[in-house]
Structure 1
């Protein structure tokens, strides 16, 4: 990791892959959507004027997810990021970690370059409430959520659907945009798609 720490490409961002069981019957290869999200996240980071240092933790090179990343992402093995089978809770002092989860009561106010931010990616796409929040509590790690409630409001739609659960690349786009602009409304507009059922306060849209 020393080479990445000295690189001008990377700053301080950590991503954790959390794998859970899936039903045997699948129409999409295991981890395919998550592999696609990793590709989009990496592409966004390459274009950023203030790129983050990215590490995939709990990430085994003999896992189905790794195979999907190789299959779907050209040059994945040469991506400028760290990959380790260790989990982030054993890699870093727990007091330096902030687990980003929509179930946290604490809104993220700013980005600290000395903090390790965890974005949990699930191979299993069935959503279990508070799974990331419970993981953070298990290790007594601080949590935070994106400030969607503070800067956005629910928008009426036919399905009455509203969700603060974002794909990992969407969360990253919010963080990356805020890190460059220090403007939460602009950052949230970048990462929170209209399909989530939220709109910026006082928006004309």
Structure 2
């Protein structure tokens, strides 16, 4: 995975972090603006209150930031074909997805857990990252819906992780994926600010 939506890119330090067990009570951040229809109008969610859109990019389906456009925290939504993975609609149906993710880590996998938030089911894992030489955390929620695999990423400084988890869960809880093919819809364009450049992998 390459979590590099905009600005400076958090880097993976190669050390997987153990994910916390899924909790029955999940705190959701207050709802902000709805996203525009995404992925040809098939996908929509709600941004946490106070978050803003990042410019469109071929690297992700959607991204938002809280304070600094080129910094963290930020939330990123990516999608790819799910292949023969089943729809993630229960703890049991999440197991093939978890097995697939474990295989992709090739023995260096973090701990995985199954999370039920809103009406959606996810496989959750966490990775230790770094950002501007500071310790950072990447938290990932992965689900299969409508034949595609969607990954929601929260990238934040490690010390701020608990503060911004409710923002991640708000976006995840409100994620809606249509099974039919709706009319094509476009996302509003936001021009990069002065002096900003496209993100580059580290």
| More helix as a share of residues | 1
Q: TM-score, normalised by structure 2?
A: 0.27
| More strand as a share of residues | 2
Q: Which has the higher contact order (CA 8 A, sep 6+)?
A: 2
